[in-house]
Structures are given as C-alpha cells and as structure tokens.
Amino acid sequence: IKEGRQALDKLVAMKYAKLTEAEIKTLVVEDKWLAALSAQVQGELDRVSQALTGRIRQLAERYATPLPQLTDEVARLAEKVEAHLKQMGFQP
C-alpha cells in the first residue's frame, strides 16, 4: 500500500506540474467555493429542519388534549363558576 501511495503521489505531482495557471485557479477557487457553499446550504437545511421540528413539537403539545375532553372540562368549570356566583348572591 505504501508503494502504491508513493506512486500515486508521484503521478499527482507530475500532473500538478503540467497544470496551467487557469486550471490551478479553477481548482483552488471552485474547490473552496463549492466547499463553502456546501457548508452554507447544509447549515440552512439544519436551521430549517430544527425550526420545523420545534413547530411540530409546539403543535403536538397544543393538540395533545382531544376536543371532547376540553369541552367536558369547560362544562365542568362553568358549573363550578355558576356555583360560586350563586354563593356570592349572583343569579346568572
């Protein structure tokens, strides 16, 4: 493996020696630019993914209690309020 690696390094060095200035600039600029762009896109995808996850959690918490259960609780609390109002002398 070591010899293969050395042979490959030698071939790469020979190829680099034959590159034109324009080809070198293209390799350097495009590689750096593509890497930076890729990192920014991945960062944006992560941000959007986290925002969506947070929103889904929020909705799950909001709608965790079924509507019939909420309706029953409201009716029970309304009766309790009416009883307190009667004790205070108010007639609804």
| pTM over cut 0.75 | no
Which two tokens mark 35? 């890497």
Q: Is the residue at 87 inside a domain?
A: no
pLDDT tens digits, 35-76:
888 999 999 999 999 999 999 999 999 999 999 999 999 999
Q: Is the residue at 42 inside a domain?
A: yes
Q: Is the residue at 25 inside a domain?
A: yes
The boundaries of the domain holding residue 44 are: 2-64
Helix-, strand-, coil-residue percentages of the chain, each rounded to 5: 85, 0, 15
Domains in the chain, number = 1
Q: Is the residue at 79 inside a domain?
A: no
Q: Is the residue at 81 inside a domain?
A: no
Q: Is the residue at 36 inside a domain?
A: yes
Q: Is the residue at 24 inside a domain?
A: yes
SS (H, E, C) 22-37: HHHHHHHHHHHHHHHH
